[in-house]
Amino acid sequence: GAGVSQSPSNKVTEKGKDVELRCDPISGHTALYWYRQRLGQGLEFLIYFQGNSAPDKSGLPSDRFSAERTGESVSTLTIQRTQQEDSAVYLCASSHRAGRTYGYTFGSGTRLTVV
C-alpha cells in the first residue's frame, strides 16, 4: 500500500480482556517496528521484525505482550489480560530493511484505552 496502515485506529477495552492490534506495512518493506507512547510520555520501543523473525523483542513490557508477522507483511501485536497501564498509542513503522541507511515510515497509530 501507499503508507503504513494500522487498525483499529481507536480501541476501548475492559480490563482483563485480550486485544489485537494490526499493522500493514508498506509493500516490500522487510523491517517492521512496534513502538508505544503512553500519555504525556515519550515513545518507547517494543519489538522489531526483519522479515518474519523478531531479532529484538527486548522492549515488550511483560509476557502478556506478544507479536507475530507473517508473509513478511502484516503484523499483529497481542496484549492479553489488558491492564490500565497498557493504555497508550501503539505505533507501527516500516522500512525497506533494518539498518542505519533506511528511513522509517510511521503509521497513524492505534489508541488503546483500557477501562
Name the residues that contact another protein, by CB under 8 A: 31, 33, 35, 37, 41-45, 48, 50, 55-56, 59, 89, 91, 93, 98-101, 103-106, 108-109, 111
Provide, rounded to whole angstroms, the least separation between the CB of residue 68 and another protein: 18
Q: Which is nearer to another protein, 10 or 81 (CB)?
A: 10
Q: CB neighbours of 104 closer than 8 A, spacing ≥ 6?
A: 33, 93, 94, 95
Q: Which is nearer to another protein, 83 or 102 (CB)?
A: 102
Strand ranges inside 1-115, DSSP E: 5-7, 10-13, 19-24, 31-37, 43-50, 53-56, 65-69, 75-79, 88-95, 105-106, 110-114
Q: Which is nearer to another protein, 33 or 82 (CB)?
A: 33
